[in-house]
Amino acid sequence: MTSQTTLQDIVKKIRALRARAADSASSENEAAMAAKVADELLERHNINLSEVDVRADGVVKQRWDSGRKTCPVESWALEGIDKGCNVESWYQRGVIAVVGSPADVETALYYIDLTRVAVAACWDSFQKTDEFWRQRERGQAARKIGFSFRKGVAMRIGERIGKFADSAERVSSSSNALVPVKNALVAAYLDDNNIKISSASSSPVDTSALYAGMKAGEKVALGRGIEASRPVAAIAAQ
């Protein structure tokens, strides 16, 4: 079985050969020979061109700082973000680390940012509702209501993002075929750097506030581009 390191070297060689084949400075014979060797390597190692690009891009690690020392509420969305974006993430002392292909990490960081803004906007709106004040009248501390509600928003956003992976399987078999490749690259990175990811611990929550948060998280728009440019506060209030 070809190791990840050896496969990366093969991918680099294929890319170099394809670049030579496309180089206008190469003679016709040189270009044809380079293309032929590249195709032979693709066939011999059972690699497609999309996989070549994914492997050549490799894996990166980026950090997202919540600005707090405690567990960031965004961490409750990470399980779904990891699944939906083909990344692995973890947090320590308020900092979330994300590992994956450059494009996937960028998307994951976008959703972490969206979760932060959406949670704050939803919580601000919820505090103005009768439901919030009914919970306060029942003797629930505002701090516990806030923690539970924000956790619910983040969890539901994460669940919805995680479902993107299932949709991708149904819509595009070619992109789905690259998921094991991406997962293998990320797993190799974690193993090489001796990174062990553990599950987050949980604190007691107020069930009513948690479910209210999940209901609010269902209404948050997750799309990028035009949809993402809309104020999240307005989206959450719909």
Nearest Cα to Cα of residue 64 among 43, 85, 48, 44? 85
**111 and 155 part of one domain:** yes
Segment 138-157 shows an average pLDDT of 92
Number of domains in the chain: 2
How far apart are alpha carbons 220 and 185 in whole angstroms?
A: 32
**164 and 64 part of one domain:** yes
Q: Which residues span the domain enclosing 189?
A: 58-237
Coil, strand or helix: which one is 91?
strand
- The pair of three-digit structure tokens given for residue 159, joined into one six-digit string: 């669940």
From the number of C-beta atoms within 10 Å of its C-beta (0-12, 13-18, 19+), residue 165 rates as middle
Rg (CA), the chain: 23
Segment 140-146 shows an average pLDDT of 89
Segment 189-213 shows an average pLDDT of 81
Q: What is the pTM of this model?
A: 0.70
**46 and 72 part of one domain:** no
Segment 4-21 shows an average pLDDT of 70
Lowest pLDDT segment from 24-28, 61-65, 149-153, 207-211 = 24-28
Q: How confident is the model at residue 201 (pLDDT cuts 50, 70, 90)?
A: low
Q: What is the pLDDT of residue 121?
A: 95
Q: What is the pLDDT of residue 110?
A: 93
Q: Is there a contact between 100 and 57 (Cβ–Cβ < 8 Å)?
A: no
**Look-up: residue for tokens 């506060």?**
233
E strand residue ranges, the chain = 60-65, 88-92, 95-100
**12 and 125 part of one domain:** no
Domain boundary among 55, 76, 94: 55
Question: Tell me: the pLDDT tens digits for 48-91?
Answer: 655 666 666 678 899 998 777 777 788 999 999 999 998 999 88
Lowest pLDDT segment from 145-154, 169-178, 218-227 = 169-178
Nearest Cα to Cα of residue 154 among 210, 100, 233, 85? 210
**150 and 62 part of one domain:** yes
**50 and 167 part of one domain:** no
Checking DSSP bridges between strand 95-100 and strand 60-65, what pairing results, if any?
Answer: antiparallel
Domain boundary among 55, 82, 98: 55
**24 and 70 part of one domain:** no
Instruction: Look at 32 and 166; give whichever has higher pLDDT.
Output: 32
**101 and 119 part of one domain:** yes
**126 and 179 part of one domain:** yes
Query: Which of 87-101, 146-160, 185-199 has maximum average pLDDT?
Result: 146-160
**206 and 156 part of one domain:** yes
**111 and 30 part of one domain:** no
How far apart are alpha carbons 183 and 186 in whole angstroms?
A: 5
193-229 core/surface letters (b: 16 or more CB in 10 A; e: else) = eeeeeeeeeeeebbebbbebbbbbbeebbbeeeeeee
**184 and 87 part of one domain:** yes
